[in-house]
Amino acid sequence: MKEKVMSLIQFWRRKYKFLSLTRQYQKNIKEMGATCELKNLTKEQSDEIQKYYMEHYGKKIKLDCHRYYYSVNDLFSVKYIPTYIYYSQITPLFNDVKMRVVYSDKNMSDRLFPDMLQPRGIIKNMNGFFYHEEKPIDRETAIGLCHNLPDAVIKHSIDSCQGESVIRFSSIHGITSSQNRTVKELFDSYGKNFLVQEAVSQHERLGSLNPSSLNTIRIMTFYRDNNEVVPLFAVLRMGRKGVKVDNASAGGLYCGINEEGKLAKYAYTLKPFGKYLTSDSGVVFEGFEVPRFGDLVAKVREMHQMLPYARLIGWDMSVDENNNIVLIEINPTDTGVFQATGPAFGDYTEEILHAIRK
């Protein structure tokens, strides 16, 4: 009897979460759609989408996502994944909720991949405790280590809110370039669970797209049942002129990368919607070659095999000024679904839909 009650409670919890996420992400799509001219799907297109989802998902879906992405990129496809299905069903199934907290903690990535080049850490704050070079230190020592930094980044290590907590700053005698706050005041504003790192000096080609931000390559990978790790999509994210972060949610641009490592014709912004042929620095996107793209893909496929509890991961990677591959962040919680460049799961859409249908 007790097991039946617990099972019923879990069922209604999942149901509530699904309905809640459905409302939230439908609202997000409508907000994004309000900033661009939306096309209407024809009856034939709508029927084709519903037939596809009935076959592979077992039920009909809301068509807002399909309509939005078709309007944005002129590419009709039945394979777009509604964001409410992605976040409420796909991510919870493929990424173990307990382990993805560990995987996504930015203070843990150097422990997960100690041999991988990453931004040099200055201090960590983990659950209120400070560390430097993996040894505990007191708060005053941590503040002192950040008194004079020529170019650094501070960000939350957990729940970083799509880059909203990322601040690139410098400091002289304990006074930072972030609103002229002291290092102590900057630390106080973050509370706990954050880190300070040296900023990465990026590859000349990446920097040409926007010199004020670290421009990163987001590669999403899928760990299949047969132990194969495959790339699903890749986008290059870049900041706007004078802005120090590259996140699309913070107004940054993102542009699709093909298998040859070349950028697509257009880059996009989310809210408000925008479609661009060039970066703010005047670089034409179409045909722009991403440095070491093949090596980047190979590296994330290799790393993903070490993290089997998260089968969908968005990797933020870059290439530094010395042409070295750098791991910036691991994203197993919010991998991002950049479908303005095309359906997120491509040839693996049916496989993933069949899994959540079981």
Q: Which of 136, 171, 198 is the last residue of a domain?
A: 198
- Gap between the Cα atoms of 279 and 327, Å rounded: 24
Report how many domains make up the chain.
3
**315 contact partners, CB below 8 Å, separation of at least 6:** 218, 219, 220, 221, 300, 303, 304, 327, 329, 330, 331
Check residue 346 and give its pLDDT: 95
Q: ∠280-232-84 over CA atoms, to 5°?
A: 85
Residues 79, 173, single domain; the answer is no
Check residue 122 and give its pLDDT: 98
Residue 342 placed within a domain: no
Give, in order, the Cα–Cα distances in Å from 36 to each of 97, 250, 272, 343. 35, 18, 8, 19
- Gap between the Cα atoms of 71 and 59, Å rounded: 24
Residue 346 placed within a domain: no
Structural domain span for residue 170: 121-198
Residue 154 placed within a domain: yes
Q: 230: which DSSP letter? A: E
Question: Residue 48, class by beta-carbon neighbours within 10 Å (0-12 exposed, 13-18 middle, 19+ buried)?
Answer: middle
Residues 237, 309, single domain; the answer is yes
Please give the single-letter amino acid code of residue 340: A
Residues 21, 107, single domain; the answer is no
Residue 218 placed within a domain: yes
- Gap between the Cα atoms of 87 and 152, Å rounded: 32
Residue 357 placed within a domain: no
Residues 17, 142, single domain; the answer is no
Check residue 350 and give its pLDDT: 98
Residues 101, 215, single domain; the answer is yes
Check residue 25 and give its pLDDT: 54
Residues 212, 322, single domain; the answer is yes
Residue 294 placed within a domain: yes
The pLDDT tens digits along the chain (358 residues) read 656 555 565 545 554 554 555 555 556 556 555 566 889 999 999 999 999 999 999 999 999 999 999 999 999 999 999 999 999 999 999 999 889 889 999 999 999 999 999 999 999 999 999 999 999 999 999 999 999 999 999 999 987 655 668 899 999 999 999 999 999 999 999 999 999 999 999 999 999 999 999 999 999 999 999 999 999 999 999 999 988 777 766 688 999 999 999 999 999 998 788 999 999 999 999 999 999 999 999 999 999 999 999 999 999 999 999 999 999 999 998 877 789 889 999 999 999 999 999 7
- Spatial CA neighbour of 169 closest among 192, 150, 188, 194: 150
Residue 186 placed within a domain: yes
- Gap between the Cα atoms of 250 and 20, Å rounded: 24
Check residue 43 and give its pLDDT: 97
The three-class DSSP label of residue 229 is: strand
- Gap between the Cα atoms of 157 and 244, Å rounded: 18
Residues 38, 104, single domain; the answer is no
Question: How many other C-beta atoms lie within 10 A of the C-beta of residue 273?
Answer: 18
**9 contact partners, CB below 8 Å, separation of at least 6:** none
Q: Which of 150, 183, 198 is the last residue of a domain?
A: 198
Check residue 3 and give its pLDDT: 61
Residues 139, 183, single domain; the answer is yes
191, 292 Cβ separation under 8 angstroms: no
Check residue 6 and give its pLDDT: 56
The reply to whether omega before 272 is within 30° of 0 (cis) is: yes
Which residue, chain included where needed, has tokens 């973050």?
190
313, 220 Cβ separation under 8 angstroms: yes
Check residue 335 and give its pLDDT: 79
Question: How many secondary structure helices (H) and strands (E) does the chain include?
Answer: 12, 14
Q: Which of 177, 198, 219 is the last residue of a domain?
A: 198
Question: Domain with 317 in it: what CATH number?
Answer: 3.30.470.20
324, 115 Cβ separation under 8 angstroms: no
Residues 242, 278, single domain; the answer is yes
Which residue, chain included where needed, has tokens 């390559």?
217
Residue 340 placed within a domain: no
Check residue 26 and give its pLDDT: 57
Q: ∠332-336-341 over CA atoms, to 5°?
A: 140
Residues 218, 107, single domain; the answer is yes
- Spatial CA neighbour of 105 closest among 354, 329, 327: 329
